[in-house]
Chain A
Amino acid sequence: MKAFLSMGGYAAYLWPAYAVTFAVVALNIVWARRALEQARSQARRRLEARGEER
């Protein structure tokens, strides 16, 4: 396990590279879902606003 984590002496470069990439993956999933949720709640508000006009 220790040998695995040390990555032949490249740990200081390798693990941050993996961390940055998977942080970007995770953020993309969160951002995409949030963008959809925001669009849905805005659409809901647009509908309600229109309903009141009638």
Chain B
Amino acid sequence: MNWTWFHRLGSPPHVYGLAARLTPWLAWPAALLIAYGLWGGLVLAPPDYQQGDGFRIIYVHAPSAWMSLMVYTTMAVAAAVGLIWRMKVAHAAAASCAPIGASFTFAALVTGSLWGRPMWGTFWEWDPRLTSELILLFLYLGYMGLRAGIDDLQRADRASAVLAVVGVVNVPIIHYSVTWWNSLHQAPTVMRLAKPPMPASMLVPLLAMLLGFTLLFGALLLTRLRGEVLNRERSASWIREALRA
């Protein structure tokens, strides 16, 4: 197998330029998919037979919750790569993930709470799914706090990477919490292989939102990554080159 692409990902100037070129290719499809998802979810999809129009909260809640887990997993993998191969760019990617993931975890908790009130009769319950998702928010905040508390960027990278990698055990706990414990939260409706969970008119806008948010994450990550890569760079010649771009 040819590993040059991987080695080139370790080269800051290559990554900086590649990230800049790729960003619009992720951002515009994301905007289109989210616009379609909103239209499809709010207008085209029929009301749910049990939850009426209230079920439409799924079109913002599920993508936010998906982001909270997917971004954390990305962050933990990047942190692990940074620790193992001492790769600056990987640490820069992990650091870029945290504020994005934290904010969408917050959105998942708030939208879930607003959905829970009319359907379960409560904004909050110390339920396994809700509690483990709240712990995820604290993991993100702890990661960011730890980084903010260490002045030396290299030491901040290594210390926070250990926290990110250890914290990843929470991701499967969140995902399987509704199966392992008796939870208020419903079981997964999309991430399962059995019979179609909902009619296509409901499902397609949801998939568009999930994909749209994922591409949005890609665009946000690449934008932040460029900044984080610049922060770690001491070589004057390529900084000059990057600033010209």
**Known contacts A8-B47, A21-B64, A24-B107: does B115 contact A32 (CB below 8 Å)?**
no
User: Which residues from A are CB-within-8-Å of B56?
Assistant: 7, 10, 14
* Measured CA separation A39–B227 after assembly (Å): 5
Task: Find out whether the CB atom of B242 lies under 8 angstroms from the CB atom of A17.
Answer: no
Chain B at the A interface: mostly helix, strand, loop or mixed? Answer: helix
- Minimal Cβ-Cβ distance residue in A for B213: A25
Task: Find out whether the CB atom of A24 lies under 8 angstroms from the CB atom of B53.
Answer: no
Task: Find out whether the CB atom of A13 lies under 8 angstroms from the CB atom of B117.
Answer: yes
Within 8 A of A (CB), among B51-78: 52-54, 56-57, 60-61, 63-64
Q: Which of A24, A29, A38 contacts B106 (CB 8 A)?
A: A24
Task: Find out whether the CB atom of A17 lies under 8 angstroms from the CB atom of B115.
Answer: yes
Distance to closest chain B CB from A43 (angstroms): 5
Binding site for B on A (CB under 8 A): 4, 7-10, 13-14, 16-18, 20-22, 24-25, 27-29, 31-33, 35-40, 42-44, 46-47, 50
Binding site for A on B (CB under 8 A): 34, 42-43, 47, 52-54, 56-57, 60-61, 63-64, 99-100, 103-104, 106-107, 110-111, 114-115, 117-118, 216, 220, 223-224, 226-228, 230-231, 233, 236, 239-240, 242-243
Given A28-B104, A38-B227, 5 additional A-B pairs, CB 8 A: A14-B56, A20-B110, A20-B114, A40-B242, A43-B230
